[in-house]
Structure 1
């Protein structure tokens, strides 16, 4: 908690709520509507598997999301894309349903699926940009070496976790 407090003070933003959740996976996330009303959650697996510098880097990464308002902008983008999907589907549905109501329903659901998949392209692009920006923010805040080390440690922890899950499966993918 003191780590987040230091970063929040440096950025002149309100200290986010900090939650700890029980999970063996090394993970963390930020959420909330604004930089002064946010929450950072950290898994027990992250605290167990990463050293002090790596944990600071992950917290700085999440605080980068908070500081830059990434949660709000991503929510707005997703909402706009969903609105686009809904309205295009409805407009085409009405045109088709005037002539053939059953075909109209089929076209509506088809467009909902296809346009939703297409809408994920700009959302994913934006999300990836925000992740890289938060990585850069963390590297500038706590040092490039700590950030690189944290990403490598998380990758190792994630690979261990997925290997363990695969071993428990009755079939071997």
Structure 2
């Protein structure tokens, strides 16, 4: 039975690279205020209208199976429930938007839903919840506004995209590792998280059932070995420095390692004890 991690704190699972990169960004005073003041109100209304006008809001009455996956993931990560929208789009993707004090939301593209199993969809939801749990919102919103606006408002989008610094892209790549950990804490099976990454790398509704996760992990090890030479290391750096996400094979390898770590096992045991203790104090056991 999968357990709810009552009292879970972001820093308990936050990746060290995420912490380091976030602290580096915080050395630039005014980022937080500037993003919320200049972009926050307009962007919030803009994307809210986009969601309401051209997406489907998930609820108990609308796509209840997906709503159940959302509620379960929120319970396991001990996070407030955001709004969830499903948007028609042929590019498999999911993203979140959150400004402090505002209602956060998650958007998942239909093509991603078609590609994944229900448990894998829950891993995606939990990954996005990880951004909320770690309070990545302000910096993540700046990146998402640039990416989304590039397609919706080409001129504005290009200007914003060009304004992103290498440091911002480095930060979001590091933040993704923390959110992959959040996904694992929610589904509590590393193979599910790694399968999502494999399908994002080379899956389709037709090919997905034929993919071999073990072979994909071997592929990740081969990629990792490229760092053993100076040229390989330089090429890997050049390949990733303009990306908003780490390459899927490295993310899969990172989650595989963390799932075997004492830190992950300790988190499950620690919060299982808290969960059982709370249930016993109430005089009953609770099953989710």
On whether the aligned pair clears a TM of 0.5, the verdict is yes
Give the corresponding residue for 2:193. 147
Cα separation, 1, equivalents of 2:83 and 2:199: 25
Where does structure 2 lack aligned partners over 5 or more consecutive residues? 1-66, 144-158, 207-288
Q: Is 1:122 aligned to 2:188, yes or no? A: no
Q: CA deviation at 1:35?
A: 8.4
- Change beyond 3 A, Cα 1:7–1:29: same
- Change beyond 3 A, Cα 1:50–1:20: same
Q: CA deviation at 1:72?
A: 2.1
- Change beyond 3 A, Cα 1:34–1:9: farther
Give the corresponding residue for 2:129. 63
Tell me which protein shows more strand as a share of its residues: 1
Give the corresponding residue for 2:71. 5
Cα separation, 1, equivalents of 2:119 and 2:200: 13
Report 1:1-173 matches (<5 A).
Answer: 1-34=67-100, 37-74=103-140, 120-142=165-187, 143-157=189-203
Say which SS state the counterpart of residue 107 (structure 2) adopts. Answer: strand
Q: If the length of structure 2 is used for normalisation, what is the TM-score?
A: 0.38
Where does structure 1 lack aligned partners over 5 or more consecutive residues? 78-112, 161-173
Tell me which protein shows more helix as a share of its residues: 1
Cα separation, 2, equivalents of 1:40 and 1:74: 13
Cα separation, 1, equivalents of 2:91 and 2:140: 24
RMSD: 2.7
